[in-house]
């Protein structure tokens, strides 16, 4: 229990805190990048919907949302839900959450919103990244989804490597 023991204890605590911070940061970067991916997918679906609508117009047909656009709309719902979950997780990393009444960022453990007074639900942090909710009936081939590795460089430059082997393989 001498001076050097204390020193090495302090050093390992500092290391632990730094590691925790780094992994939070990495997680945040990964969430940000996944949110952006989902946004891009959503934009693409909007474009598909627009094209379908215009083609209907060209053929002088009416569009029936249920019949014609249900697939696109279901995908949009799924991607939007994923974004919401990822935003929740990102805020939780900073011990924050969104008030369900006024959408202000409030402390994660607040029972009431300090701004509008809305009672908050018990928060549930799930990790949507681990199991991307497959959007309805996606005809995409059984993708061997590579684990995405994000390398955080100086000044927040992010590099994404998609070359890791599938999780299922050992």
Which chain residues interact with Zn ion by CB under 5 A?
99, 101-102, 104, 113, 115-116, 118
- Closest of 130, 157, 134, 164 to residue 33, by C-alpha: 157
In the complex with Zn ion, which residue's Cβ is closer, 116 or 158? 116
Cβ-based neighbour number of residue 83 at 10 Å: 20
Q: Any residues with CB less than 8 A from the CB of 113 and at least 6 apart, and which?
A: 99, 101, 102, 104, 106, 120
In the complex with Zn ion, which residue's Cβ is closer, 26 or 104? 104
Tell the smallest beta-carbon distance from residue 72 to Zn ion (Å).
33
Tell the smallest beta-carbon distance from residue 150 to Zn ion (Å).
33
Tokens 């942090």 sit at which residue? Answer: 125
Tell the smallest beta-carbon distance from residue 147 to Zn ion (Å).
37
């Amino acid at each position: 229990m001498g001076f050097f023991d204390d020193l090495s204890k302090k050093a390992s605590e500092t290391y632990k805190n730094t590691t925790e911070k780094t992994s939070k940061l990495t997680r945040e970067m990964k969430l940000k990048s996944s949110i952006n991916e989902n946004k891009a997918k959503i934009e693409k679906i909007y474009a598909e919907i627009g094209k379908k609508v215009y083609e209907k117009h060209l053929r002088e047909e009416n569009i029936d949302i249920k019949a014609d656009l249900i697939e696109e709309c279901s995908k949009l719902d799924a991607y939007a839900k994923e974004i919401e979950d990822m935003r929740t997780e990102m805020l939780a990393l900073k011990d924050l959450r969104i008030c369900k009444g006024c959408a202000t960022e409030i402390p994660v453990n607040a029972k009431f919103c300090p701004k509008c007074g809305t009672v908050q639900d018990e928060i549930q942090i799930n990790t949507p990244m681990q199991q991307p909710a497959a959007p309805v009936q996606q005809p995409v081939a059984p993708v061997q989804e590579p684990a995405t590795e994000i390398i955080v460089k100086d000044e927040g430059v992010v590099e994404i490597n998609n070359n890791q082997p599938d999780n299922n393989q050992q």
